[in-house]
Chain A
């Protein structure tokens, strides 16, 4: 009887930490260096006005966590954009914003800044995908999206 109890208790004590670690894959496995860095996102809509955009960002290398999202430089996109709060503490985020006004940016403009927590020594790399960009009539327009790493803290 004691043998069975010992086997059960041993299996529980072994399984719990193993499964707990599996269920939290985003957690850093060791105490590595943590730093914070902003990532500036730009959209270049050429000579057309930019009234709405949506993009997705995902880390392809390094260990990052989104810790905050800030609006862009132009008055039309100054306010914080829409994003899923679940993206905070995640390495993937979908960001979108629109403005129905007349004063809209053209050419290359910073539309948002994503604040990231970077863990470890691996320099993070990102995959950016512009889902949609539209003009003041809600018509899809061709545009280019790019990002620029800010100063680390």
Chain B
């Protein structure tokens, strides 16, 4: 900037002809002025643009709020639901009891496995319903299935 001023000073010191000086001045002077209507129009457009951006931001934040609240509620419910075991495991357990109650006394215990093991060892008639794992034969693995059903922890508390 300083340099420019210095240059201008140099110019004044040069004693240039009046006509040339006027022409040079004319080159650097800003000839056009911005009319107030254009100024106002630009301001209006700017206002419109920024107000639209603000609205859009509000629209984005609102669903985020809902999603966060829903996540908190779902998380809390899922933890409490884990503690309340529904009827599905009970039904599954009843199915296991029916299948593994070999001596049909209404409960599954080690005597069911013992009975099945003795049937297999003595080559007594084997019932197809004793095929616990569905592999087409009744053997030690079926005895193990019955024994493990007898010691399952979810059978109830002492």
Interface residues, chain A, with chain B CB atoms under 8 Å away: 1, 4-5, 8, 11-12, 15-16, 19, 22-23, 51-54, 56, 58, 82-84, 86-87, 90, 92-98, 100, 127, 129, 131-132, 134, 138, 140
Contacts and interface: CB of A to CB of B under 8 A. Distances in A.
A96 B110 CA distance: 6
A90 B61 CA distance: 46
Contacts, number: 92
A52 B158 contact: no
Contact of B151 (A15, A95, A140): A95
Interface stretch (B27-35, B36-44, B64-72, B88-96): B64-72
Contact of B158 (A58, A83, A96): A58
Specify the main secondary structure of chain B where it touches its partner. Answer: helix
Contacts of A98: 110-111, 113-114, 117, 147
Contacts of B84: none
* 8 A-B pairs with least C-beta separation: A96-B110, A98-B114, A54-B110, A94-B151, A82-B147, A84-B153, A52-B114, A19-B79
- The residue in B75, B83, B114 that gathers the most chain A C-beta atoms within 10 A of its C-beta is B114
A54 B69 contact: no
Contact of B150 (A51, A54, A138): A54
